[in-house]
Structure 1
Amino acid sequence: MDTRQVNIPYADKITHFFFYFVFALLGCLFLRERTRGGIKLSKAVLVILLLAIGYGIFIEVLQYAITTDRMAEIGDVLANSIGAFLGISLIKWYFSKERPLKWKI
């Protein structure tokens, strides 16, 4: 039986990017839905972006300070931040003036 593993270069960075991309997308939609459109999209974008980047940095600091079997990497913070920025960019692009988010109040 062949037990070779699939080796994908930078798979952990791709995973970080993807999760924070989805975090930003869903976070903006959740925040707007939760407030029923009470906050503007630009404010929701800023809040989620700061939350995502802050959370990513916080997790890396915890890995550095608390664990012995994990290591903090600046590359993870970069992948998290880029994913969040691109997720936010997609939200801003898709829900531009042609397709605004609307809620019934």
Structure 2
Amino acid sequence: MFITMLSLFSFSSMDLNTGNLNIPYADKIIHFVFYLGFGFLGSLCFRERTKGALGLIKTVKIVVISAVAYGIIIEILQYTITTDRMAEFGDVLANVLGAFAGIGLIRWVFSKKNPLKWKF
């Protein structure tokens, strides 16, 4: 819900570029970070909802497909229902890369080298 609200909310009335700090591609970085969280937290959510019964590989597939589909839907909604937000392919790419980074992080956290286990 948080990502949806931020993706569809209009920031045109706010001046976000005040001051001396001007970060190039800041919006793409934000997309990447949000979807990294989506991938990581989504995997943990599926794990908890299934009490560890859903395997890591299946969970990863579900979360990646969900994140990519959700990111594309949000970009379509930005194009169709908002007046001052733009749909950009770069946003979709940042979303997908962020989701994969979140999945990579979850796979690393639950790898054989780390003490955390997927199933208790």
TM-score (norm 1): 0.89
Amino acid of the structure 1 residue aligned with 2:33: F
- The residue number in structure 1 matching 2:11 is none
Does 1:96 pair with 2:99?
Answer: no
Whole-Å separation in 1 of the counterparts to 2:105 and 2:45:
15
The aligned residue for residue 6 of structure 1 is: 21
CA distance in 2, matches of 1:102, 1:33: 10
Candidates 84, 96, 107, aligned match of 1:81: 96
Q: Which whole-Å CA distance do the structure 2 matches of 1:5 and 1:58 have between them?
A: 34
Q: Structure 2: which amino acid aligns with 1:101?
A: W
Mapped pair 1:67 → 2:66: no
Unaligned runs of 5+ in 1: none
Give, in whole Å, the separation in 2 of the partners of 1:5 and 1:60.
30
Q: Distance in 2 between matches of 1:62 and 1:12?
A: 17
Deviation string for 1:47-100 (max 9, x for gaps)? 011101100000001111121111100000000000000110111122123443
Root mean square deviation, CA, Å: 1.4
Which of 19, 25, 39 is equivalent to 1:24?
Answer: 39
Q: Percent sequence identity over matched residues?
A: 59
* In structure 1, C-alpha distance between the alignment counterparts of 2:52 and 2:109, rounded to whole Å: 16
Instruction: Give the TM-score normalised by the residue count of structure 2.
Output: 0.78
Deviation at 1:22, TM superposition (A): 0.8
Tell me the CA shift for residue 5 of structure 1. Answer: 4.9
